[in-house]
Structure 1
């Protein structure tokens, strides 16, 4: 039987090919955190692609926290490599993230309310220790991920609801994704820490409504991530009139 109609391999989006070139450029050039990438116009000219393709590649790098785009000031590396996550994984995470954030708001708002009613001194000690851990991580130049995880776990424990705790465990992996997505946003770790302190203050004061409101504000801040603004479509893949074809691209 002829295999002429066998499934065709998916053609990489042009901006994904730009990502591969940029990764090689950074590696071969020995660039590291703080170094600036060439302007988008120069990258487009040297690669023989449209600026739209370059811009889409830069957005993917920004979404993953690998570069910082300073408006009017250029694009700078945040890390020493551009080892990007496969685009299809980003697309899948973007698809499920809104549902995860909805679940977090519903569950964690109630958990904070219950924690304000039921917390013990040991619970308060655990939450304070978590915030101290997060603060230390941020001061060390990290995102505060572990301290963040410990704080939310401590709030869950302070609610003393086995059913809600089980619901939280059931989406633990997705919550971890949303945590990393949020905390790699510029200036987000410090803001998150401040919001955690507001939540803790309300819980310690035994104010259920205020604790719930503080948690709701926090989770809605978590929902403000670059990934959800990203359009993973084929933007820029067709190039612009008069530009070289894909196989005419020049290396950086």
Structure 2
């Protein structure tokens, strides 16, 4: 699947046991004045969907390609070098390297990633987004060889969260609301029923349909011994997310 296609589609929607140590002093000294945000998608959203499946863990060889995304809500109208990299004991592996020129105020870019091809080792990994060499955002995320060995796949906690689009015509200060869903999961950890228990603010007025679509994207660890599991899942709408 082509990067340009997903970048355009997602722009319309939007927001360590074996790890290298972080370098707080260096990071603070080299922080970027440009706001940045990092997000991983478990797989590409459906083309007609207004929701996206946010990954809380990654596989080196997933069934469908994961996507790495970066975004900014205050990007300058000039050329900016962008580097999104993931660290392991062997160094930094590039997930995105390029130059953004004359970007709009709100920019979202995503592309497929192949962690096996990049030879990223399993473990808790540091991911850093740099604009012009200065750190704009950083996260840690688990990389696993398979769901069977992934800590993020154990128990009833979610490892894929559904997210609604960010509405660009809403001022950040006004971007607030809340969903509470009751989700029913089947033995494979996928959602089989959604009940919207609470919808307040934008969740009720602008994002009800997209929110219910997002609820279907949640996934938890598989448990063949349980035909159904119900979880009450809150989701707060926050600026830029």
TM range (shorter): under 0.3
TM-score (norm 1): 0.25
| Higher normalized strand content (fraction of residues) | 2
Higher RCO (CA-CA < 8 Å; seq separation 6+): 1
Q: Which is greater in Rg?
A: 1
TM-score (norm 2): 0.25
